[in-house]
Amino acid sequence: MTLVSYNLTNEEKDKKGKGEDCKNLFVYGTLRQGKRLNYLLDDLEYIKAKLPGFKKLQSDDLGFPVIIKEENSEVKGEVYLNLSETYFSRIDKTEEENIFFHRIIVDIITSNGNKLKAYVYYPSKKLLKFVFKKK
């Protein structure tokens, strides 16, 4: 595995809430259709999508996957469009945003080839240290 970086750049950290009006959410784990936290998205419409430049890791100790930055990789998932702030607040609380995850803006590609900006939950440095300590 060629790990590019598991740390966010300052630019990536600063994207959230600073002039970017993003209402889309890319999900790759427990928020996906049929998974245990999908109820948080009610029955909202979604599109299959992929996240280039990242790789998904599954940790049995955690019980949920995380993503890391890795060139020439991609993560398959779903994108939910035009979420209200109510949805983001509810999911931020569940994902423990700013503790275990950071919600950052990324570029995704939908199943029909469209490129979109979307938020994704990226693991915190603290969480990644736990994941890599177990390997």
Q: What is the CATH number of the domain that holds 23?
A: 3.10.490.10
CB-based contact 128:68 (threshold 8 Å): yes
Domain-embedded: residue 128:
yes
Structural domain span for residue 93 = 10-133
Domain-embedded: residue 46:
yes
Domain-embedded: residue 2:
no
Domain-embedded: residue 79:
yes
Domain-embedded: residue 5:
no
Q: What is the pTM of this model?
A: 0.84
pLDDT, mean of each 10-residue run, the chain (135 residues): 43 50 95 95 93 92 90 98 96 94 97 97 90 67
89 Cβ contact list (under 8 Å, min separation 6): none
Domain-embedded: residue 120:
yes
Domain-embedded: residue 127:
yes
- The count of domains in the chain is 1
